[in-house]
């Protein structure tokens, strides 16, 4: 009887251990990863062809693969006639992957999708002297813990009026970059939320042409609302207090600002 009691006690301990250990080992959520593809195009013809591919083949295939909230954006053209036209056209495609390892399997998933292969044939089999783009730039982004999921902005204006602001903050060193990330997670995101910036994502660039770097996207009904929000941000007492803290000094070197509008077929 004594041995049976010991055996039963040991089994109970094992069950308790498994109950605590297995969720952590088997059911923990996998980290998300954002992919930002920037298509560099030479002219409007390439742009029109790429639009057809993205709308009719690529986004539907991503949706079938369980990836939603895919954003497609284009730069807002300057109303100033004295501003020279850009040397090339750009199209930004934001793909929020459900798990980091999905990036390694995405191409294989697409190649097994018969609907995608049929709808995207023109793009897939484009000739070397008639491509859809000059080149593709790919950026991988690790979401901030302060906002680990993508949010679809609650905007009422027509897509042609909306302003999606993509910002990129490079740092002089990797340590200063981590410091800027900490600044976002420890107060800056809360200030954006308080002031109604309608963010889509915040994240740390883990692979790209500009590093160390972080990127985020906020959204506005129109350009006037964007200007009003940034004015309020600069005057906000919480921001003034946070930005004056000595521990956050010099934590970014330069900021690149891209003002974009969503395409009619964008999920975001």
Give the model confidence (pLDDT) of 189-199 as tens digits. Answer: 999 999 999 99
In DSSP terms, which residues pair with 261 in a beta bridge? 74
Predicted TM-score (pTM) of this structure: 0.87
The tokens for 54 are: 């993205």
Lowest mean pLDDT among 24-33, 118-127, 195-204, 226-235: 24-33
- At the topology level, CATH places domain 33-262 in Alpha-Beta Plaits (3.30.70)
Confidence of residue 87 (pLDDT cuts 50, 70, 90): confident
pLDDT in tens, 224-244: 999 999 999 999 999 999 999
Q: Whole-angstrom Cα distance, residue 196 to residue 57?
A: 34
User: DSSP assignment, residue 214?
Assistant: E
């Amino acid at each position: 009887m004594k041995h049976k009691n010991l055996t039963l006690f040991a089994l109970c301990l094992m069950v308790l251990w498994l109950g605590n250990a297995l969720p952590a080992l088997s059911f923990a959520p996998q980290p998300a990863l954002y992919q930002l593809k920037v298509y560099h195009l030479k002219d409007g013809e390439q742009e029109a062809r790429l639009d057809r591919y993205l709308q009719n083949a690529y986004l539907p295939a991503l949706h079938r693969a369980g990836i939603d909230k895919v954003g497609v954006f284009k730069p807002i053209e300057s109303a100033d006639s004295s501003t020279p036209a850009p040397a090339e056209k750009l199209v930004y495609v934001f793909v929020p992957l459900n798990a980091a390892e999905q990036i390694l399997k995405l191409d294989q998933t697409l190649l097994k999708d018969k609907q995608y292969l049929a709808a995207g044939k023109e793009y897939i089999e484009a000739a070397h002297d008639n491509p859809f783009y000059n080149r593709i730039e790919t950026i991988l982004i690790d979401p901030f813990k302060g906002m680990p999921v993508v949010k679809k902005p609650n905007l009422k204006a027509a897509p042609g009026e909306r302003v999606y602001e993509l910002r990129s903050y490079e740092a002089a060193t990797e340590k200063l970059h981590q410091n800027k990330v900490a600044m976002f997670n420890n107060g800056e995101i809360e200030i954006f939320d308080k002031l109604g910036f309608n963010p889509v994502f915040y994240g740390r660039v883990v692979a790209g042409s500009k590093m160390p770097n972080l990127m985020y996207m906020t959204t506005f009904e129109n350009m006037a609302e964007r200007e009003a929000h940034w004015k309020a941000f600069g005057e906000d007492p919480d921001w003034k207090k946070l930005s004056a803290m000595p521990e956050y000094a010099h934590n970014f070197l330069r900021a690149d600002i891209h003002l974009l509008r969503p395409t009619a077929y964008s999920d975001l």
